[in-house]
Structure 1
């Protein structure tokens, strides 16, 4: 690893530690945001623009540094802001944070992985060039794949930044709205499991697989139709 990558890694670690230290213990927990909900709501009512900017910056930092708590922050956004405003803030903050995390993974890891696993990555790169948007869309909607892991894995591929941004923005929107809507009645939420039912998880998974399945069906049967 060259000196630039070493310095960049140190900067990332420093930002991670600084963000983690500045957040009091338990802040990014369900009980923590319930405890401070009224005080935060009062602050939002007193200074709405500043509150929105602080919330946006915090969400970007948590997402970009892969600090656990994005789902909790989404609930908090639903409790503090109107649904439309919370949707705009969380959607763009989560996508920006995810893109920064992906770029960090790409800068630090991709070249080494591409060299060490050249043959395997050749197959991966070919698949991403053909169905990259579909794969990313499916991964974003499938609850089995954590947010930070998708960012890390996509950074190892050659997917374009613009494509990564807009696919992530669209694919993460349904879950964002669900969590924001749940945050409007934060007091009734006892656990994150109360928000997304098994049926909803299955529906998200099927929705994520739909573009890939549709493309496969077209590629398989459309040529025969043309003939």
Structure 2
């Protein structure tokens, strides 16, 4: 990855006549940005650790004071980030009675926790999506999960851009350089290509969140491309949560149903179609080839 990304020194204002002093005086926000870019990887790691510790400490107290307290020891053991279908089923049962009188408390705790896990690339969001379906049913669960996926990814994008650059530059530059060439080749259909990368398992979502600001992916394309790309997965996991809540045995739970696989394949095809059509289309502004050149190609 070229060092020009880390050391952008172009002045915000050009040499405007009569405004030479303001042209050379750095803007405060730009000075802070430059300071963040010049951090060492160790300083970047410490800053990220401090931010994560502050956020998750706040979430801990939020959960502590907004989730049910009068629980038995058996029920209390399930108040944790779910890791499997069994955790989801038991946690949804613990929260369902509480949900009737404290609906928005539970919804807020769900959203804030999901956003934090997504923003800091902490594993566990897949089972949280399933929990969203089990707790809030399909449409509310889908809206909540999509909101969290979009803004959580945007949080990761922002953190990587302003705090994670030294770490990305040192440890991920080779992978980003390879992906940058592919992104450059698809710049004319960048939205569809980015959404396609989101929906397929070829590149992990956490890597796309971290790498996108350093690949020059615009914020709007990143945000809406993320929403389109994660939609199939959200549909699958939220519906799975609705189904899981009705199952007597969590061992019967599975995400890889034929319907889910077919839906994912169809969405991938829809995202690839504009890219294929654009590649095979002719430029309407291009000049027609001379007759002799066309005949030569026909003989070949």
Normalised to the residue count of structure 2, the TM-score between the two structures is 0.62
The alignment partner of 1:2 has SS state of coil
1:70-85 alignment, distance < 5 Å: 70-85=125-140
- Displacement, 1:8? 3.1
Q: Distance in 2 between matches of 1:51 and 1:21?
A: 14
Query: Structure 1: any 5+ residue segments left out of the alignment?
Result: none
What's the secondary structure of 2:165's corresponding residue?
helix
Point out the more displaced range, 34-43 or 76-85: 34-43
Are residues 1:34 and 2:89 paired?
Answer: yes
Q: Quick check: 1:11 aligned with 2:50?
A: yes
Q: Counterpart of 2:207?
A: 149
1:183 maps to 241
Distance 2:82 2:100 in 1: 21
Match of 2:191 among 122, 133, 136: 133
Partners of 2:179 and 2:197 in 1: how far apart? 18
Q: Distance in 2 between matches of 1:5 and 1:57?
A: 24
2:165 corresponds in structure 1 to 109
Root-mean-square deviation (CA, aligned residues, Å) is: 3.5
Partner of 2:153: 98
**1-structure distance, mates of 2:193, 2:140:** 29
Aligned to 2:3: none
**Residues 124 and 191 of structure 1: is their aligned pair in 2 closer, same or farther, counting only changes over 3 Å?**
farther
Give the whole-Å Cα distance in 2 for the aligned partners of 1:211 and 1:140.
Answer: 10
Q: Map residues 54-93 of structure 1 onto 2, 5 A cutoff.
A: 54-93=109-148
**C-alpha distance in structure 2 between counterparts of 1:160 and 1:200, whole Å:** 30
Structure 1 pair 70/217, CA: closer, same or farther in 2 (3 Å)?
Answer: same
Q: Which residue of 104, 122, 126 corresponds with 1:49?
A: 104
Secondary structure of the corresponding residue to residue 100 of structure 2: helix
1:161–1:128 CA distance, 2 compared to 1 (3 A): farther
The C-alpha deviation readout for 1:156-187, integer Å capped at 9, x for no partner, is: 21111122111111221222122111111215
Candidates 208, 214, 217, aligned match of 2:277: 217
**Using the alignment, how far apart are the partners of 1:78 and 1:119 within structure 2?**
38
Count of matched residue pairs: 224
Is the contact between residue 79 and residue 184 of structure 1 (CA under 8 Å) also seen in structure 2? yes
The higher relative CO (CA closer than 8 Å, separation ≥ 6) is in 1
Deviations 1:191-212 (A, max 9, x none): 77x2133674465245335434
Change (3 A) 1:78 1:127: same
Extract unaligned runs of 5+ from structure 2: 1-37, 64-76, 289-300
CA distance in 1, matches of 2:231, 2:201: 14
